[in-house]
Structures are given as C-alpha cells and as structure tokens.
Chains A and B, each alone.
Chain A
Amino acid sequence: MFAMLALAMVLLVRNLYTISLLPDEVNQGQIFRIIFFHLPAAIAAMLGSAVALVASVMFLWKRNFQYDALAVAVTEVGLAFLAVNLVTGSIWAHVIWGIWWAWDPRLTSALICWILYAGYLILRQALEEPTQRATFAAVYSIFAFTDVPIVYFSIRWWRTIHPQPVFFSKDGSFPPDWSRALLINMVAIFLLYTVLTMIRLRQEQTQREIDYLRRTVHAI
C-alpha cells in the first residue's frame, strides 16, 4: 500500500512540474490548468459511487460484511473527492464567469450527488445495529446511485454553461502532451483514492473487531 502512496506522490510532484511547463491555453489562461485536478476528481468520485453500488448489491445478495465496509469506505472517500470537484469548479467559474455558482443541470446534479451520499453517511450514523445499518445503507445507496448517470450525461442532455467534453469526444481539440499529463494525473488521483479507501476500509474492519471484543468483554 505504501508503494502505491509513494507512486502517487511521485506522479503528482512530477506532474506539477510538467503542468507548469505546458503552453498556455488561449481562451482561459492559467486557470485552465485546474482541469488536471477537477476532471480526475470527478471521474474518481463517479467510479467510486459505481463501486459503492456494486458493493451494496453484493452485500444484499451475499450478506458478507466486507462488502458493507467497502461501500462505506468508497463512499466516504468519494465525498471528499466530489467536494474537491465542486470547489475547484466553483473557483474556476469565479475566475472565468465571475460567479461562484449557477443552477444549471451539471452543477446542480453534482451537488445533489454530494448531498445524497452525505445522507448515506447520516443514515449510517442513525442506525446502531450493524446488520440493520448495513442493509438499510445498501438499499439507500442503490437509490442514491440513480443521480450519478444524470450527473454524467447532463451535459449531453441539457443546455448547460458547463464546458462541453473536450477529452473524450470526437470534436475535442486537445494537444497530445496535455492529454498525457492529464492521464498521468488521473492515474495519480486514482491511486490516491485507492490508498485512502484502503485506509478507511481497514479502519472499518478494526471497528468491527472492537465491537466484537466489546461484546465479548461484556459477556464475560
């Protein structure tokens, strides 16, 4: 795990160097480089929520608490990365358009996604019995995932002020060295996501051991 963390750190530092050397984007200027964090964070968060969905369904099917632990870990880290996405996007908007926020479909659905998964954590806090907590949280996670496709496709379906996709679409005009830097940064951020998830996962399992020990001690 520490190898992954070290690799992530190395990649990020190298990318900092690379990003600063890249030529300027004509229209937007320096602020455009924020995309190197804004986009990977968004993709990581959405992949995370997909993992949470799969983990929730698997838990409801197999009743194995490892899946529940995975769901919680992935969702929590996803919240942090989605927050990064929202904040960097907001700063970007302030520099480019002069407004901090706009109620257009992509921003709104991203914010709702954040609120939904925050609600997931609040629900978990409100339920004390572990099996019930895991089951209900899994059910809620399945409902919460219905917003994620909206976040992703909102740019295609509605007119929004959010920029159109430039990387993965046909009419995107991106110089190859930018794409490579973005890919490296994406790998680094995914690694960071994975590391944080593993830490949180281990904490969840330790917590479960603690609960078990506590019950044993009180039984004796």
Chain B
Amino acid sequence: MRFATPTPLIAMLLQAAYDPIREEIGRLQRNFQGLIWGFVAAWVILLLYTLMLTARERKIRREMERLKSMVEETEKK
C-alpha cells in the first residue's frame, strides 16, 4: 500500500482547514439573505395593504361621482 504523496495530503489538510470557514460563510450568507427576505416581506405586506386601500378609494370615488350626478339629474327634473 502506497502512502499518500505529500501534495494530496496538503490538499486534504487545507480542505479540512477551509471547511469551517466555508460553513461560516454559508451561515452568514443565509443569515443575510434571511434579513433581506424579512425586510422584503414586511414591506410587501404593507404595500399590498396600501394597494388594497387605493383600490377601494378608487371604487368609492367612482361610486360617489355616479351618485352625485344622479342626485343632480333628479334635482334638475
């Protein structure tokens, strides 16, 4: 059985040293991504609600115009 030659051995040792670092980088990335998603989610929800409000506002305004014109018509008669 041949012993491992120096170069692969060094490669293996370097790999072992880098693994925790890579893990930490992955964790930080996931962490940061989570933060971004969190902010996005918060603002998206508030935005959706604001859009709902504006849609209702438009509908109400239209209804109001319609009714006002109807009242004017019937008063004119």
How far, in angstroms, from A84 to B38 measured CA to CA in the complex?
9
8 Å CB interface, B23-51 against A: 27-28, 30-32, 34-35, 37-39, 41-42, 45-46, 48-50
Which B residue sits closest to A212, measured CB to CB? Answer: B67
Q: Is the interface of A mostly helix, strand, loop or mixed?
A: helix
Residues of B with C-beta under 8 A to A159: none
Residues of A with C-beta under 8 A to B41: 84, 87-88, 91
- CB distance B27 to A29 under 8 Å? yes
Q: Tally A-B pairs: CB < 8 A.
A: 84
A132 adjacent to chain B (CB < 8 Å): no
**Which of B2-10, B12-20, B52-60 participates in binding chain A?**
B52-60
How far, in angstroms, from A30 to B37 measured CA to CA in the complex?
12
How far, in angstroms, from A94 to B70 measured CA to CA in the complex?
56
Residues of B with C-beta under 8 A to A108: none
B21 adjacent to chain A (CB < 8 Å): no
Residues of A with C-beta under 8 A to B68: 213
Among B31, B42, B67, which residue has its beta carbon within 8 angstroms of that of A95?
A: B31
- CB distance B38 to A91 under 8 Å? yes
Residues of A with C-beta under 8 A to B28: 29-30
**Which of A47-55, A142-150, A169-177, A198-206 participates in binding chain B?**
A198-206
How far, in angstroms, from A41 to B67 measured CA to CA in the complex?
39
- CB distance B56 to A30 under 8 Å? no
A210 adjacent to chain B (CB < 8 Å): yes
Residues of B with C-beta under 8 A to A91: 34, 37-38, 41
How far, in angstroms, from A99 to B71 measured CA to CA in the complex?
58
Most chain A CB atoms below 10 A, which of B32, B34, B50, B64: B34
Residues of B with C-beta under 8 A to A192: 46
- CB distance B31 to A30 under 8 Å? yes
Residues of B with C-beta under 8 A to A94: 34
Residues of B with C-beta under 8 A to A9: none
- CB distance A87 to B42 under 8 Å? yes
Task: Mark A residues whose CB is within 8 Å of B.
Answer: 28-31, 33-34, 37-38, 41, 77, 80-81, 83-84, 87-88, 91-92, 94-95, 192, 196, 199-200, 203, 206-207, 209-210, 213-214, 216-217, 220
Task: Mark B residues whose CB is within 8 Å of A.
Answer: 27-28, 30-32, 34-35, 37-39, 41-42, 45-46, 48-50, 53, 56-57, 60, 63-64, 67-68, 70-71, 74
